[in-house]
Chain A
Amino acid sequence: MNNSSIIRRRIVRQLREVIDPELGVNIVDLGLVYNILFGDDKVIVEYTTTTPGCPMRRYLQQQIEEALKSVEEVDEYETNLVWEPDWSVDMIDGEVEFFAHPPPRTQMS
């Protein structure tokens, strides 16, 4: 296992702490995180919101940045909001049980 896959798992773990307040489920299991890319010297997280009309984008960006900051190995990062492909309910992890408390988390792969 190379170094980047370990860092990716740590990032995913932190991103699972970011909860969409409206749905009460973390953004990874909701399928809102599209990509975690490793550039030359920075990590790029591509994410979306459930609809372009959703005002949560700023809050989610702030939370994703906090999550990235908390991963020791990540020095430089960027968050990109993308609209393609459109998010759909089919992107939600099949294990997600909505509105369970505390918010559910699927097993890390």
Chain B
Amino acid sequence: MTSPKVSTYVLVILLFVAGIGLLSGLYSGLVRLGFLAGTSGGISPLAHGPLMINGFLGTLIGLERAAALEKKWSYLAPVLLGISTILVLAGFTVPAKLLFILGSFFLLATMLYLYNMQPVAHHLIMALGAGTLLIGNILFLFDTPIFNLVAWWAGFPLLTIFGERLELNRIMRPPQRAQHLFLALIILWTAAITFTHINRPIGWTIASVSLIAQAGWLFKYDVARRTIKSVKWTRYSAISLLTGYGWLVLAGFFSLWQGFPTAGPLYDALLHMIFVGFVFSMIFAHASVIIPSLSGKLVPYHQYFYLPLLLLHGFLLIRVIGDIVWLPVIRSIGSYGNVLAILLFLGGIIFQLLRVSARKKITNKGM
């Protein structure tokens, strides 16, 4: 029997650390909205973005890649990004920023290693994603305002997910030209993000058009259009994917309408369309695959999972409207609702896993 080099317990611990990144990131987001205002201590509202991007997404995606490659050094990315969460929570900002850079550097190294193993477009796109995280983190170390670096941070989940979808969608056998077009759109997007540092409106306009085109590509070629006719997790995943692509289109048109706002409600609206509308839809869509990949446990499907999905999109819509018309109460209701949706989804997953575990124990006792 061949055994994995790294124990599954290590993967589960790192998954748990990513979970801490998520929960503390959500908490920090609520503090940003004034939650428990006036109380001393707690998490800085400024930690919301770094925790969500590095502490949660960086650790989780780094862990997925490490579990795929199964090289001990590839675990450096999720371990370092996981430790950075603890440093952020402890208030060690500069060491945390350094670990963001180191962690994303090893994530990029992991992706380049994969690209070297198999030099194909989807690995290149995912490596570009890891590269955008590294660039964002370097800019963050040098105290670049978040609104000037956030597009690089957004590039990380966007390009990682685009690469994964291109890989899976090979089974739809998209024409070679279509695959090249998708890669070209992604390179254009990355070039446009670079250009925003020279001319923000022009760079962002090009990036937005490219983003809408990428979402259009996914609507046309993603297998979700077929799997939506399926059942259980497969259908759930398809609905999550397609609604997520819908938010990308909205984010693209919103950007064409409002440009690339600096910090403020319009900026918040745009970022949350991408990070909540698209990224969390993708997380909901892929959870049924991510969990068994890392823990070895299948998550039994239950239609309950449509509740958090519905709440996620519904409250995001409320939040975005609250941002656009600047009604702080509406914006807060939407934000609290989004946190609730994510917690309900997470709770559902944990409940289902515990239920299966308890059932197995009862069955084993009965034998």
Partners in one complex: yes
A residues neighboring B (CB under 8 Å) = 21-24, 49-59, 61-62, 65, 77-80, 83, 86, 88-89, 92, 98-99, 101
Contact B296 A57 (CB under 8 A): no
Q: Please, which residues of chain A bring their CB within 8 A of the CB of B366? A: none
Residues of B within 8 A of A (CB): 1-2, 4, 8, 11, 64-65, 67-70, 111, 114, 117-118, 120, 122-123, 126, 167-168, 170-171, 173, 223, 226-227, 229-234, 288-290, 292-294, 296, 298
- In angstroms, Cα B269 to Cα A1, docked, is 68
Q: Which residues of A contact B168 (CB under 8 A)?
A: 22-23, 50
Contact of B171 among A55, A59, A98 (CB under 8 A): A98
24 interchain pairs, CB-CB under 8 A: A21-B233, A21-B288, A21-B298, A22-B289, A51-B122, A51-B123, A51-B167, A52-B117, A53-B65, A53-B68, A57-B67, A57-B68, A58-B67, A58-B294, A59-B292, A59-B293, A61-B2, A62-B296, A83-B118, A88-B170, A89-B170, A89-B171, A99-B229, A99-B234
For A54, what are the chain B residues with a Cβ–Cβ distance below 8 Å?
Answer: 68, 167
Interfacial chain B residues near A22, Cβ < 8 Å: 168, 289
Among residues of B, the one whose C-beta sits closest to the C-beta of A20 is B289
Which 5 A-B pairs have CB atoms at the shortest separation, nearest pair first?
A55-B293, A55-B67, A55-B64, A55-B68, A99-B230
Residues of B within 8 A of A52 (CB): 68-69, 114, 117-118
- Return the contact of B234 from the options A24, A53, A77, A83 (Cβ within 8 A): A24
Option from B70, B171, B173, B289 in Cβ contact (under 8 Å) with A57:
B70
Q: Chain A residues with Cβ under 8 A from B114's Cβ? A: 52-53
**Residues of the B chain whose Cβ atoms lie less than 8 Å from the Cβ of A62:** 296
Task: Beyond A51-B118, A58-B4, list 15 extra A-B contacts (CB 8 Å).
Answer: A21-B292, A22-B289, A50-B168, A51-B122, A51-B167, A52-B69, A53-B123, A53-B126, A58-B67, A58-B70, A61-B2, A89-B170, A98-B171, A101-B231, A101-B234
Q: A24-B230, A89-B170 are in contact. Are A55 and B2 (CB under 8 A)?
A: no
Q: Nearest CB to that of A24 among chain B residues? A: B234
Among B167, B233, B292, the residue within 8 A (CB) of A53 is: B167
Instruction: Determine the distance from Cα of A83 to Cα of B113 in the docked complex, in whole angstroms.
Output: 14
Are B292's CB and A78's CB within 8 A? no
Contacts of A79 in B (CB 8 A): 1-2
CA distance A34 to B339 in the complex (A): 45
- Give the distance in Å from the alpha carbon of A56 to the alpha carbon of B227 in the complex: 20
**In the complex the two chains form, is A92's CB within 8 Å of B293's CB?**
no
| Residue in B closest to A92 when the chains form the complex, CB atoms | B171
Interfacial chain B residues near A65, Cβ < 8 Å: 1
- B264 CB → nearest A CB, Å: 38
| B44: min CB distance to chain A, Å | 32
Q: Tell me how far the C-beta of B223 lies from the nearest C-beta in chain A, rounded to whole angstroms.
A: 8
B167-A58 in contact (CB<8A): no
In the complex, the answer to whether B8 meets A58 with C-beta atoms within 8 Å is yes
**A53 contacts which chain B residues (CB < 8 A)?**
65, 68-69, 111, 114, 122-123, 126, 167
- Residue of A at shortest CB range from B286? A22
Q: Which of B4, B117, B118 contacts A61 (CB 8 A)?
A: B4
CA distance A23 to B170 in the complex (A): 12
Which of A58, A61, A80 has the largest number of chain B CB atoms within 10 A? A58
Query: Which of chain A's residues has its CB closest to B118's CB?
Result: A52
CA distance A5 to B198 in the complex (A): 67
Q: What distance in Å separates the Cβ of B149 from its nearest Cβ neighbour in chain A?
A: 26
Instruction: Find out whether the CB atom of B234 lies under 8 angstroms from the CB atom of A59.
Output: no
Contact B226 A86 (CB under 8 A): no
